[in-house]
Copies of this chain bind each other. A is one copy, B any other.
Amino acid sequence: MSPAGTVVLDLTQDVAFLTAALMDIESVSANERAIADAVEVALRALPHLEVTRNGDSIVARTSLGRDERVILAGHLDTVPLPTTPGSRGTVPSSWDGEVLYGRGATDMKGGVAVQLALAATLTEPTKDVTFIFYDHEEVAAVKSGLGRLVRENRELLDADFGILLEPTNGTVEGGCNGTIRFEATTRGKAAHSARAWMGENAIHAAAPILARLASYEPATINVDGLDYRESLNAVKVHGGTAGNVIPDLCVVEINYRFAPDKTPDQAEAHVRELLEGFEMVRTDFSAGARPGLNAPAAASFVAAVGREPLPKYGWTDVARLSEMGIPAVNFGPGDALLAHSDNEHVHADAIRECLAALRRWLA
């Protein structure tokens, strides 16, 4: 049964063209219904899969009684379309030779196309596979479709290993750094700047915070064989109210990206030690994820890909799988540095090679 108006996807066409077809269904976060409908209809046509829909997320599972089960996961949504006139990273997609331009080209319609191509063509994989397509990845974590599945359909998500098809340029990227944010606040006493000695300058009081951050040497930490480069930065600062008033408040917003050898609490302790003596509030955090390469399934997967694994720096949903006790890595077509850009694009061969590597491993 195909709802009226649902886009019909041919999952057996060239995976790069399938990517373009997915990109042409605009699916900015909160507007995933159309693409979720198209994906659901296409998957329900495949008799070897059990399909479950929850909101605009879809889970499709093989049940072949294999020894191992792996998750292949990707999000259906994109960030908003570019606002710069003439940007090519928009909807609909466009081809320039073998390069595919448009919103979602790297993040991550190519990965989703690879998932769908595998779902359609790999009827007898060597491991049971759970395909997950989910909504609301590019917005606040509380809205995540994957988070909702974890809460409401946990029984569908058991697995020995997970692959998230986020763009990694076709290399296995293991785990991810954690991220934690603080606001460090200095307080003073307002006064007219003509009589500055009657006040206390909160911006001057923030000088040591910036100095300690500027001279901090971030570590590179080896976790399960991969080197995680950390960073610690002031990302925003604001203080002062008027040109003739001694400022009574200055707030420095700080972001620490920490290696997955630490919990968020340990990361917090580290920053608090560095900025001892300053008023500091933790405003946000996400745990990192260990690379998961010591899982048995991971070793054979890395071998099938045939490239040296790298650490992942950006936070991804592998952390969410990791929290569930499922070792997980990132592996997908396209350059993560192009994600969200006005110039988002991917080479057709990158998508085809990603599909080929996964097929080698699972066939």
Residues of chain A having any CB pair with chain B under 8 Å: 177, 179, 181, 192-197, 201, 203-208, 210-211, 213-214, 218, 229, 231, 233-247, 250, 252-253, 255, 257, 284, 313-315, 337
Contact = CB atoms under 8 A, between A and B. Distances in A.
A139 to B, nearest CB: 13
Nearest to A199: B233
Contacts of A181: 243
A233 B199 CA distance: 11
B214 A210 contact: no
A341 B6 CA distance: 65
A213 B196 CA distance: 13
Copies of this protein in the assembly total 2
Chain A interface, >50% SS class: mixed
A204 B234 contact: yes
A21 to B, nearest CB: 29
A219 B145 CA distance: 62
Contacts of A243: 181, 235-236, 253, 255, 284
Contacts of A196: 218, 231, 233, 257
Contacts of A201: 213-214, 233-234
Max chain B C-beta neighbours (<10 A), residue from A207, A257, A314: A207
Contacts of A257: 193-194, 196
Given A203-B213, A233-B246, 16 more contacts: A179-B193, A179-B194, A193-B231, A197-B229, A197-B231, A201-B213, A201-B233, A203-B234, A203-B237, A207-B211, A210-B211, A235-B240, A235-B246, A235-B247, A237-B247, A238-B239
Contacts of A213: 201, 203-204, 207
Given A193-B255, A210-B203, A237 B240 contact: yes
Given A246-B233, A246-B235, A247-B235, A313 B210 contact: no
5 contacts: A192-B314, A195-B231, A207-B213, A234-B240, A236-B243
Max chain B C-beta neighbours (<10 A), residue from A193, A218, A253, A284: A193
Given A179-B194, A257-B194, A207 B214 contact: yes
Contacts of A315: 194
Nearest to A230: B196
A184 to B, nearest CB: 12
Contacts of A245: 235
A190 to B, nearest CB: 11
A240 B231 contact: no
A231 B245 CA distance: 12
Contacts of A337: 195
Contacts of A284: 243
Contacts of A197: 229, 231
A255 B244 contact: yes
